[in-house]
Structure 1
């Protein structure tokens, strides 16, 4: 589910100005703000709607309509893959698709590129779950914490 924020036109224009001055996007600007609030302890680091938990020697990942389990020792591989995939442009993702799919196979979860992020594909159900780039990076951090 995507949230659309309604702002007065003036505030939207101000956000765009700030993003332009910082050579970033409005989405990245908001992501940075949220991460600073997590770091300050205002909100927890978990991602609403996505559950990541260590279950024995596996890491269980669930979200609405999505579930997957990966071996805990493959958690770092999946986290690295999510970060790298999220950072690639769509054309770079396509260029490295075979390499990414090979690494993804090690974790059991497949990745597909979508406009401004990636889709994780469950090895259990084949269901896909979309992740914006910043959320994919945050999920990588959650997986790393669970893998320890």
Structure 2
């Protein structure tokens, strides 16, 4: 919206396991219906709260609300997108990173193998790695050095 509305200028996007597609169609969304922390039922509730009941998956959802619907991603700032293997959001996150790359947006995709949504296992090595990766990506991005 900032790009299309003339500002403010954004220098970087950090998209940590983002929820991007209200249609809930990717295979990972169908496969992970009962995973801990985040699953398809949680995504349904989240989208219904955000968009209003009975709007999720309809044609009138704006790409500003559900970025996976956007047809033109060109001119967006560099991005870092993270995804986790056992996360219902995995496939939409990977697809969005690919779409950004195809639109010539400098994009880093980080996939965490063997991890549920966000890697939320307190004080685990993978949680520490995800936090360190996030901080490093934000530092690079905000310094204008996104990969």
TM range (shorter): under 0.3
Which protein is bigger by CA-based radius of gyration?
1
More strand by share: 1
Q: Which has the higher contact order (CA 8 A, sep 6+)?
A: 2
Q: Return the TM-score normalized by structure 2.
A: 0.27
